[in-house]
Structure 1
Amino acid sequence: MRKILFMIHDLSVGGAEKVLVNLVNNMDHEKFDVTVLALFDEGVNRQFLNKSVKYQYVFKRTIPGNSHLMKLVSPRKLYSRVVSEGYDIVVSYLEGPTARIVGGCPDGETKVVSWIHFKMHTQNEIAWSFRSYQEALECYNRADIMVFVSEEARQSFLNVCPVKCKTTVLYNTNESQKIMQQAMETVDNIKFEKEFFYWCGVGKIVPNKGFDRMIKIQKKLLAEGYQTKLLILGTGNQRTELEKWCKENGIFDTVQFLGYQTNPYKYVSKCDLFVCASHEEGFSTAATEALIVGTPVCTVEVSGMKEMLGNNEYGLITENNEEALYQGIKALLDQPELLQHYKEQAIIRGKTFSTKNTVHAVESMLEAL
């Protein structure tokens, strides 16, 4: 049995944290002895870890400026202080401090994996949690393999940081059967009225996710006479600001902020359209989940979307700006047959991201090490 450590900053509401829980829960625990180590014991996703997965943490609460504080200690010393046991494989499941820590692994027999979830464009982006770009390059080269969530993320990284270690692309794990089951649950707090077109977005309510774009588009659609309602599922530090904007612009009654939902699928599956308005993504978990439940997807072009949706084959991709996204959504409103086409295509594409396929790909990679 291979002893594996997955290391992550915390288990908060983010997509990477969620798909890590999905992955470790569904691995073959007769083949893999799995431990998840969080630097900080925080996050709603802790509760979803199976009992067969060991859980450890370093600090009870998040320490402000922790990434800067960790730079005061070398990667090797950090590793020796954070990792108390021996493992066959150690995995940094997210870029940031954990990538620096596993880069300090002193045991040549322990295999090291660094997992990248975001598209990086500059040396500064790659080096933000390291003392320098050179240290980042050295730590990433300590890895036996680097894993990227999309081909775009891999190519972007390698253009800036040409590591010598092996690299691969593995898609995120979604619990597809569970998602489908939860999608069938009833919704009590919203009455989906037939005369309205419901569209939604899911994620942290932070500037990068582009929810401000979505509420502005909602205002434009209403001004043009479309009967639309927007659902926003998630929580974050921008929520109060966006709610205030909706009230000041007279659209608060048509935008519903639903907060963090342990089951967002029952809402997404009942919407006419899922929208991703993000400025940046790695490989959107929320968009993948929308496909699994059969909801059409309209997205701005971010990393991974062309791999997910093809050349507008399985969903509609627009340029990454508010006006282009607005025109894309309006085109789907004006062409019900096109919307129906993408609904049918979503169901087909969603089957690609089955739990079995994605977990098997990860297990095969780990076994090959």
Structure 2
Amino acid sequence: MIKKKILFVIESLGCGGAEKSLISLLSSLDKERYDLSIWMMYPKGAFLSFLPNDVNVIKQPKYNVFESMLLYLSSILYSVIWRLNKMVGKSEYWGETYYKSRGWAIKVPKGKWDVVFAYHQGLVTYVVADKFHGCKKVGWVNADIFKTGYSIKYNSKFYRKIDCICPVSDILHELMDDRMPEFSSKYHTVWDIINSSVIRGLSRKQVGQLRTNSDEYIFVTTGRLHVLKGYDMAVEAAHFLKQKGVKFKWYFIGEGAQRNDIEKQINLLGLQDDVKLLGMKTNPYPYMAQADVYIQTSRHEGFGMTIAEARILGIPVVSTNFDVVYNQITHEKNGLISEMNGVKIGEQILRLIQDDELREHIKSTLQKEENLTYQTEVRKVKKIIDE
């Protein structure tokens, strides 16, 4: 049997939803059937150590002196255009600016593949659409591209060259179908892929106790320190809970551009002893496993992978009401859904920790759930590859 050659292209293997999904997918695909390779445009990231040993890591393409000079000039051009956009107040997704100014100078690895996956919207999709030929091209979409600043007109140029487009939720599929209907025949929903046994195994690693006093609650939130993740609302919720006399430690796991703003807000509200910024953790699951409540305060999500991970670990979830949360959480059945407001989030947390019957009902429901995305969604990917 001749193996199909599959290449996955991604920017890096940082601690994002697409990256975690890709690691789970690579671990689940049949290596007897497929020859799997990955090319990282920037070969770095905390999840490098989780990459399966039987996946080929494609080396960076080599640039000769002239090509290196052009690449350097393109970086200057990108810097100039980015600053000009900022000066005139032009809002543009960074990847669009980057590819407009640098795409012409970027090289891709030489090789022949049957199927090439652009495992992220934006820059990776532009590169795969433009620079890979003679193969089936698949574009992974794990964010609401319309609410995060992407240009429909610009991105449509690239999606025309993509054979199959995979939004990671039903709602995201509907949004793309509504806003970009010319690609309706290309859309195939594939939920972000999670290997439950891997998550549970990683959660058993030892990291020390988060609980410093027996009478305090442990809350955990995981994600980039970015405005879209709503950490400002999380701090407001923490302030509300402290005013209500709740004893707790709330751990934020992640790094990002908003860290200084969050620290200032924590200090301003006198929450230094209650809200802790742990930074980025390669393995956040032992921390999540110790939580009494997992809290997701996002303004937008493509799927909400950390909610799925908390459910796998049996941790009750309080989440904001971003669109796709309803794909995972049924209010008062397997979690609670709050309005996007710090006080409202705090009220739902307070309700969950005070109402023993509700909390036990949610925990009981979670124990009966089984995440089968590593089976159901992998089957979808196989079908896309083999068609």
Report TM bin, short chain: 0.7 to 0.9
Work out the CA distance in 2 between the residues paired with 1:331 and 1:311. Answer: 13
Work out the CA distance in 1 between the residues paired with 2:289 and 2:159. Answer: 40
Work out the CA distance in 2 between the residues paired with 1:102 and 1:78. Answer: 14
Provide Cα deviations, 1:313-356, integer angstroms capped at 9, x if missing partner: 3221122332332222122123121112112222333x124533
Asked whether the 8 Å contact 1:90–1:111 carries over to 2, the reply is yes
Structure 1 residue 267 displacement after superposition: 1.6
The equivalent residue for 1:227 is 247
Q: CA 1:243–1:189 in 2, change beyond 3 Å: closer, same or farther?
A: farther
2:136 is aligned with 1:117: no
Work out which of the residue numbers 61, 78, 82 in structure 1 matches 2:108: 82
Structure 1 residue 287 displacement after superposition: 0.8
Asked whether the 8 Å contact 1:10–1:43 carries over to 2, the reply is yes
2:162 is aligned with 1:162: no
The equivalent residue for 1:327 is 347
Q: TM-score, normalised by structure 2?
A: 0.84
Work out the CA distance in 2 between the residues paired with 1:15 and 1:299. Answer: 17
Work out the CA distance in 1 between the residues paired with 2:332 and 2:174. Answer: 21
Work out the CA distance in 1 between the residues paired with 2:376 and 2:38. Answer: 22
What's the C-alpha RMSD, in Å, of the aligned pairs?
2.6
Work out the CA distance in 1 between the residues paired with 2:217 and 2:196. Answer: 26
The equivalent residue for 1:130 is none
Segments of structure 1 that go 5 or more residues without pairing to the other structure are 128-132
2:257 is aligned with 1:237: yes
Asked whether the 8 Å contact 1:37–1:56 carries over to 2, the reply is yes
Work out the CA distance in 1 between the residues paired with 2:349 and 2:99. Answer: 44
The equivalent residue for 1:92 is 118
Q: TM-score, normalised by structure 1?
A: 0.88
Structure 1 residue 163 displacement after superposition: 2.9
Structure 1 residue 43 displacement after superposition: 1.6
Provide Cα deviations, 1:47-66, integer angstroms capped at 9, x if missing partner: 22112111235489996758
The equivalent residue for 1:3 is 5
Asked whether the 8 Å contact 2:211–2:217 carries over to 1, the reply is no
**Partner secondary structure for residue 328 of structure 2:** helix
The equivalent residue for 1:286 is 306
The equivalent residue for 1:23 is 25
Asked whether the 8 Å contact 1:196–1:227 carries over to 2, the reply is yes
Q: How many residues align?
A: 357
Asked whether the 8 Å contact 2:211–2:218 carries over to 1, the reply is no
Q: CA 1:252–1:73 in 2, change beyond 3 Å: closer, same or farther?
A: closer
Structure 1 residue 210 displacement after superposition: 1.1
Which one is further off, 216-225 or 113-122? 113-122
- The amino acid of 1:118's aligned partner reads A
Asked whether the 8 Å contact 2:210–2:290 carries over to 1, the reply is no
The equivalent residue for 1:137 is 156
